[in-house]
């Protein structure tokens, strides 16, 4: 086993690229480009959103495992996670509510302005197989419903997975990745339903993409990868090679059936990229993800993720007149709008991080235990309160 460091900065930089990928996905889906060739090209980029969400889920498991500390309690862990996630969610939920009720417009056509309000507020909306509920209010917040499930169960998973023998961890990682890849096949066993988009029936998409127990597989994969690296047995590609593999998987998304583009084709290269970036930090190698500007943007990425959709959607509404959303522009104008939306989103995320996220974390997280002895400093580390939970 090898010693740990407090931070893995490349993973912070990686979070920014994931958040930016979701932004690009929603710009592509917004349909502001009038040129059909440009619109067609952007249509190929929409799977960046699902790729990024998968990366966030694997990354959550990896980072939580890597940062687990001796002396930490389950209650303290839960309090810090709540402080990180919920206050900013509540603020953006309120912003979305003000906009929705002011315009008297539901998020999805044919729905109600109250769609998903209470489940969204309580972060349980992705448990329900209803697109109006999952997408209600601030649509990207559905992933927080999964994250809350991850955080509530992490102490149990950490306790169980730490007991696995080192040489078997690789088999668990392979099994979890294979399980993720098989979920589109499992989803076909569900009752038939209308398609959300061509090739994606609602029930299949809900089960494969929104349902927290299924997305837990990616979270567990992140935990296992962190344990492999913490035990000093990681053997994998460099960051550059892993990024190329992920690029190849994204290219594969253009030809596979739509349901496989959600998680199945990209989960393995995503896992390799996260592990490679962390390994690069530990070995002092260049990863291309540690530039100061990337670290700052990575710190803002959670706020960026929660506010960007509101800016894109209702910025389009503001520019489009009464009916909104259907207005298009020529390519130079649409590019200008995209850049402006990105700039406004970055500024808003900096403000939200500074005025909401960071103060609430400081106020609510309580005392964090000091770093215990390094795992490699003399035998297997003693069990932490998280392991004894």
Q: What is the pLDDT of residues 56-113, one digit of tens each?
A: 999 999 999 999 887 788 999 999 999 999 999 999 999 999 999 999 988 888 889 9
Please report the pLDDT score of residue 58 as a whole number.
98
- Judged on CB neighbours under 10 Å (0-12, 13-18, 19+), 97 is middle
Q: Phi and psi (nearest 5°) for 325?
A: 60, -25
Please report the pLDDT score of residue 325 as a whole number.
72
Please report the pLDDT score of residue 387 as a whole number.
42
CB 323 within 8 A of CB 369: no
Please report the pLDDT score of residue 363 as a whole number.
85
Q: Which residues of the chain are under the pLDDT cut of 50?
A: 1-4, 372-385, 387-389
This prediction has a pTM of 0.91
Please report the pLDDT score of residue 1 as a whole number.
42
Exposure string of 156-185, with b = 16+ CB inside 10 Å and e = fewer, is ebbbebbeeeeeebeebbeebbebbbebbe
Q: Where are the beta strands (DSSP E) in 181-316?
A: 195-197, 200-201
Please enumerate in sequence order all residues whose Cβ is within 8 A of that of 174, keeping only pairs 6 or more positions apart, or say none: none
CB 146 within 8 A of CB 126: yes
Please report the pLDDT score of residue 369 as a whole number.
54
Helix (H), strand (E) at residue 43: helix 36-43
Among 6, 16, 4, 2, smallest CA distance to 292 is for 16
Using left for φ > 0, alpha for ψ between -120 and 50, and beta otherwise, residue 269 falls in alpha
What does the DSSP 8-state code read for residue 190?
Answer: S
Among 349, 337, 279, 348, smallest CA distance to 313 is for 337
CA dihedral 73, 75, 80, 81 (to 10 degrees): 110
The Cα–Cα gap between 133 and 117 comes to 8
Please report the pLDDT score of residue 106 as a whole number.
87
């Amino acid at each position: 086993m090898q010693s740990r460091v407090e931070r893995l900065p490349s993973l912070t930089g990686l979070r920014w690229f994931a958040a930016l990928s979701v932004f690009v996905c929603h710009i592509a889906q917004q349909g502001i480009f009038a040129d059909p060739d440009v619109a067609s090209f952007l249509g190929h980029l929409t799977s960046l959103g699902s790729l990024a969400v998968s990366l966030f889920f694997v990354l959550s498991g990896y980072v939580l495992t890597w940062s687990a500390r001796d002396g930490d309690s389950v209650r303290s862990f839960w309090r810090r996670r709540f402080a990180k996630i919920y206050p900013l969610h509540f603020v953006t939920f309120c912003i979305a509510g003000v906009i929705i009720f002011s315009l008297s417009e539901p998020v999805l056509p044919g729905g109600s302005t109250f769609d998903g309000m209470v489940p969204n507020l309580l972060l349980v909306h992705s448990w329900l197989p209803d697109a109006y509920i999952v997408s209600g209010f601030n649509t990207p917040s559905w992933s927080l419903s999964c994250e809350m499930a991850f955080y509530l169960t992490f102490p149990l998973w950490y306790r169980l997975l730490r007991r696995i023998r080192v040489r078997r961890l690789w088999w668990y990682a392979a099994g979890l990745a294979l399980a993720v890849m098989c979920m589109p096949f499992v989803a076909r066993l569900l009752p038939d339903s209308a398609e959300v988009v061509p090739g994606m029936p609602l029930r299949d998409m809900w089960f494969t993409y929104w349902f927290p127990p299924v997305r837990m597989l990616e979270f567990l994969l992140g935990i296992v990868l962190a344990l492999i690296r913490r035990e000093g047995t990681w053997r994998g590609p460099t960051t550059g090679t892993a990024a190329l593999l992920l690029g190849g998987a994204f290219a594969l998304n253009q030809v596979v059936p739509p349901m496989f583009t959600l998680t199945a084709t990209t989960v393995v290269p995503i896992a390799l990229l996260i592990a490679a970036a962390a390994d690069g930090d530990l070995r002092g190698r260049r990863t291309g993800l540690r530039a100061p500007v990337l670290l700052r943007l990575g710190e803002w990425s959670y706020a960026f993720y929660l506010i960007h959709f509101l800016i894109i959607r209702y910025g389009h509404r503001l520019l489009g007149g009464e009916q909104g959303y259907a207005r298009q522009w020529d390519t130079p104008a649409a590019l200008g709008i995209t850049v402006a939306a990105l700039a406004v989103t970055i500024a808003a995320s900096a403000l939200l991080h500074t005025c909401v996220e960071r103060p609430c974390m400081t106020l609510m997280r309580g005392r964090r235990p000091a770093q215990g002895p390094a795992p490699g400093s003399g035998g297997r580390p003693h069990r932490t309160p998280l392991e004894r939970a």
